[in-house]
Amino acid sequence: MLAVAVLAAGKGTRMKSNLPKVLQPLAGATLVERVLASARNLKPERRLLIVGHQAERVEQQLSAVGGLEFVLQQPQNGTGHAVQQLLEPLNNFEGELLVLNGDVPLLRAETIDQLVSTHRSSGALVTLLTARLEDPTGYGRVFADEQGAVSSIIEHRDCSEEQRRNNLTNAGIYCFNWTALAEVLPQLSTDNDQGELYLTDTVAMLAKAMHVEVADPDEVNGINNRQQLAQCETMLQERLRQHWMAEGVTFVDPASCTLSEGCQFGRDVVIEPQTHLRGRCLIGDESRLGPGSLIEDAELGRGVSVVMSVVREATVGDGVSVGPYAHLRPAAVIGNNCRIGNFVEVKKSTVGEASKVNHLSYIGDAELGASVNVGAGTITANYDGVNKHRTVIGDGSKTGANSVLVAPIQLGNKVTVAAGSTLTKNVPDGALALGRAKQLIKENWAGPS
Ligand code: UD1
Ligand code: CA
């Protein structure tokens, strides 16, 4: 039997943030979500999250994650005190307890798997993850022999100068024999620089303690301040790009682009410089994104091109060309082979196949059929100051330059709207609609020169 506990009750004082530390985002997922994900392979019987500082906010953020037990730690008197809160909920539990610091977000699932399997085969009462760091400042130091047996962990601030030279550091990830841990937990004392109960002190109390050194020390980066948050973001971004390059995505200037965990790319996608993808994005084969674009929570088909544009919560069909300088807003649904050109904004609208909105338009709350040609500067006037209204344009219709379609309004199929028209009434199939003043000519107006 395995239980996983994530320590997420701390305030994160060094972040100087109103947000609890474990809710800080990294590449589109919070620290605590990442930590939970690192234990996903293990399929634990129990998953407990120790919350305290802004507990409700943390619980709310994780409400969608099923099967989590929230355990309240109030006040937050150290990592040992945090784990003491498990004595009651795990009263009858027998097996291993995997403890994960909520602020160590880069751990790979395989590393955690290895820790647990080493623990099971060695028969130790606790096995912890360590790393040799070039700069171990701030981390607890692990004192171990050549066979990997650990005698103690001493926090950086409690170390002597001599002890600080030891660069074997504690990652904050432990696999305990729960029964043995439960026996020593009540014996912890606050006899240290911070006056807190340290989980790390249990290690010296457990007869056999072992450590497993990680191959890649970057994995065990703990986040205590904004500098470390930024470093981890850089590392995660690099990991994501490397992953997608291995899957057949080209990055023209990798370091200038950012991705989120929720992105999925087809083959031969090209990502041009200064392009950023956030949230959940699904990008079809052979699409070309950027330069200079922001794509968030969007689904793009095959062979889509997006240049210098923003696409948010929109769905874009195959072969569509977007931009330069277009803005697709939430619930824009663009059919196959459409063209959304310069300075065009589309919101909550469906654009049928092979339609073109090439220049300077606002299309909001509208439904455009197939092969519609929207002339330069056409505006759907969807808002009367109180309510939003719909515009419907049938297949094969054309609007002239600078048309205003005052919604609610319906234009049939193959309608032609004369340039400069302001239309307020529905137009039947095949009609020409003019809605502008007739041109007057007054000759010799200028008088003799
Ligand atoms: C801890 C370890 C240190 C290790 C480092 C790795 C201890 C005493 N020290 O130090 O050996 O090298 O992590 O990153 O454990 N938390 C609670 N309740 C509390 C206090 C903290 O839930 O009362 C949570 C925090 O939210 C955080 C985690 O425990 O997720 C670690 O706490 P933090 O204060 O950051 O510990 P470090 O000083 O980094
Ligand atoms: Ca920490």
Do 239 and 211 belong to one domain?
no
State the CATH number of the domain containing residue 338.
2.160.10.10
Pick the ligand that lies closest to the CA of residue 200.
Answer: 1
| 342: in domain | yes
Closest CA to 302 of 336, 326, 342, 279: 336
Q: Could you say which of 224, 254, 271 is where a domain stops?
A: 224
Cα 105 to middle of ligand 2, angstroms: 11
Candidate of 49, 101, 169 to mutate for ligand 1, largest count of ligand atoms within 8 Å of Cβ: 101
| 338: in domain | yes
Q: Tokens 């097996």: give the residue.
A: 95
Do 45 and 133 belong to one domain?
yes
Q: How many Cβ atoms sit within 10 Å of the Cβ of residue 441?
A: 5
Supply the pTM of this predicted model. 0.90
Do 172 and 269 belong to one domain?
no
Do 211 and 271 belong to one domain?
no
| 12: in domain | yes
Backbone φ and ψ for 218, nearest 5 degrees, come out as -60, -25
Q: Is the dihedral of CA 168, 208, 42, 225 positive or negative?
A: negative
Do 247 and 343 belong to one domain?
yes
State the CATH number of the domain containing residue 17.
3.90.550.10
Name every protein residue with a CB atom under 6 angstroms from any ligand 1 atom.
Answer: 7-10, 21-22, 50, 52, 73, 76-79, 81-82, 101-104, 139-140, 153, 155, 169-172, 198-200, 222, 224
Cα 10 to middle of ligand 2, angstroms: 9
Do 217 and 336 belong to one domain?
no
**d(Cα 133, Cα 156) in Å, to the nearest integer?**
13
**pLDDT one-digit tens code per residue, 289-332:** 999 999 999 999 999 999 999 999 999 999 999 999 999 999 99
| 296: in domain | yes
Q: Could you say which of 224, 253, 279 is where a domain stops?
A: 224
Give the range of the structural domain holding residue 42, as residue numbers without chain letter. Answer: 2-224
Q: Name the CA radius of gyration of the chain, rounded.
A: 30
In 267-395, which residue ranges form alpha helices assigned H by DSSP? none
Give residue 448's pLDDT. Answer: 86
Which helix (H) or strand (E) segment is 204 a member of? Answer: helix 202-205
Do 188 and 242 belong to one domain?
no
Per DSSP, the three-state class of 245 is: helix
Give residue 183's pLDDT. Answer: 98
| 103: in domain | yes
Do 370 and 387 belong to one domain?
yes
Conformation bin of residue 337: beta by default, left when phi > 0, alpha when psi is -120 to 50: left
> Residue ranges of the chain with pLDDT lower than 50?
none
Q: Taking every pair of C-alpha atoms in the chain, what is the biggest distance, in angstroms?
A: 112
| 449: in domain | no
Do 206 and 283 belong to one domain?
no
- Which contacts of 441-446 are long-range, i.e. CB under 8 A and separated by 24 or more positions? none
Pick the ligand that lies closest to the CA of residue 83.
Answer: 1
Do 249 and 182 belong to one domain?
no
Do 155 and 240 belong to one domain?
no
Do 376 and 391 belong to one domain?
yes
Closest CA to 69 of 43, 93, 51, 91: 51
Q: Could you say which of 176, 201, 224 is where a domain stops?
A: 224
Cα 200 to Cα 28, 83, 174: the distances in Å are 31, 11, 9
Index of the ligand 1 atom closest to the CA of residue 75: 23
| 448: in domain | no
Give residue 447's pLDDT. Answer: 87
- Point out the residues that are catalytic: 359
Number of domains in the chain: 2
| 157: in domain | yes
